[in-house]
Structure 1
């Protein structure tokens, strides 16, 4: 059995816990948070030992194999480095860290102490995205002209007021680091590195330190052009998360309130029946196996097979770098 512990027991930790419970050869062996009331509630539900410091947990549970870092993002680096130094493998919630300096500290520690590590970018495992990835690998749309990603969501002021760290640059980040980083990771995974960015970013409606709205134009190394629109300012509720691809032989639109559905798909090499069958397949199970469960399962298999996890820390760093490039340039233009 691979023994997992959670550090940081907020809402995202539940996804990790449920994923561990559903994964063969995985067992929840510890919970850690500075909030004792939260810990007590989780302990009653999940029947796992609880600790208010990771150092204490590492001392009392030497058999732990994997630490899931689920704390506010600004704490990721120091906790990940401490766990790696103790010989523990790592699953780090997105973003890997809030700065490139911290991402590089984590990467260096993982290499130094010889542990395995991955970052949580679960949207890669969505069925519609998996089909899009396969189509791109087979060049089904021909030469690509341009792509677009839009995250038009709502996070009202009450969301940011839940905790003093929300919306801060040091601990949380803005819409790019917190919400749109999933779409940015998909852009990099699907279309490759970005060579140039032009951006605007601003804090338009929310009383937070970081940006709540950002617009960017990208040029990828392969010449593909792209746009990114991200905001948490849509009135009242989430509107859409959309990824659109245009090529010489077709196009695809993956969307919905979350990008789980094929909204449109045209491809010269596919018949209408082929496309209908593809769309129907996704409609029947748009969420598939939860992404967190795929990542937990991949870590278990990586340990049992002694291989690297599917999502690398370099992948996580690339997403952070793109966020930093867009946000920094955008906020400089604003000032």
Structure 2
């Protein structure tokens, strides 16, 4: 039996989810929810409704593709209807809203998953396993760089883009959110951090470039740079340095490796690393999304937790909010 999804939202990312679900045999999209009754660009044949309450079709779950600050609204509405919730990243832009989402899904006994699929892309899970097994030695330095570029047309494409109220901020909560989640998944939350953010090339109220220094309880020092001002846009890069050597990961693939007594374990050639997002929000390759949707379907069927729960995804937003709060 197919899992029937309703997509809430009609923008570019909604189109990506519709395209991904087309490739999954045991899933289908049966409707779109849009305030203006819009539809994803390639899926005009789907029925569109103003709200979930208007839908007169049977469905099992929703995928929340609305702007960041509205995620909790759709998630809570779906949970009250007894529908499972898969939410696009970030889970939301305030801890209060996130906690309301988590509580509502628990209360109504539905699954809440979040699309932080980069955790399971290409070489990323291999690195997590090596860290968990302490095979990389004492890690003392980590540098994360998410240097994207977005042109003015991107920020002008919708009134909410580049705003604190709805987007929640600039590249740290938008473009870099996936990799800040990955940073958390590897190393946990920093004990303290300090940031410097600024707006250089766009006419927006939020930052378009910034840098962070993180200090962890282990003594590890991390840096995070995020930008939508760095032309032409570069693949995300994570550098890990330890007393045994170093690893450099670009777009989820280990591109440089020198660890004492260990060969490079990279799975070069994986198809789950195609979309860099460095210069465009448009996603051509849907393999990452297929992966996270298939896991969510399995969670519904088996009763287990999705790979990325609401509680786990909350941590990335907490780090990002700390970045915005602790500016000098």
**What TM-score, normalized by structure 2, do the two folds share?**
0.91
In the TM superposition, what are the counterparts of 1:118-129 in structure 2 within 5 Å? 118-129=113-124
Instruction: Give CA-to-partner distance per residue, 1:49-74, whole Å, 9 cap, x none.
Output: 321323212xx12x211100001111
Of 143, 149, 166, the residue aligned with 2:144 is 149
* Aligned alpha-carbon RMSD (Å): 1.8
User: Which runs of 5 or more structure 2 residues have no equivalent in the other structure?
Assistant: 275-285
Task: Give 1:268 shift.
Answer: 1.1
Q: Secondary structure at the match of 2:291?
A: helix
Q: Secondary structure at the match of 2:200?
A: coil
Residue of structure 1 in register with 2:278 after alignment: none
Residue of structure 1 in register with 2:254 after alignment: 262
How far apart in 1 are the matches of 2:202 and 2:224? 20
Q: Secondary structure at the match of 2:175?
A: helix
User: Which runs of 5 or more structure 1 residues have no equivalent in the other structure?
Assistant: none
Of 161, 171, 174, the residue aligned with 1:175 is 171
Instruction: Give CA-to-partner distance per residue, 1:270-322, whole Å, 9 cap, x none.
Output: 2xxx43xx44x414646288221111111111111111111011121111111
Cα separation, partners in 2 of 1:72 and 1:285, compared to 1, 3 Å: closer
How far apart in 1 are the matches of 2:171 and 2:40? 28
Residue of structure 2 in register with 1:297 after alignment: 294
How far apart in 1 are the matches of 2:139 and 2:176? 22
Residue of structure 1 in register with 2:47 after alignment: 49
Task: Give 1:135 shift.
Answer: 2.1
* Residue 15 (str. 1) matches residue 7 (str. 2): no
Number of equivalenced pairs: 315
How far apart in 2 are the matches of 1:37 and 1:231? 30
**What TM-score, normalized by structure 1, do the two folds share?**
0.89
Cα separation, partners in 2 of 1:283 and 1:151, compared to 1, 3 Å: same
* Residue 252 (str. 1) matches residue 250 (str. 2): no
How far apart in 2 are the matches of 1:122 and 1:283? 18
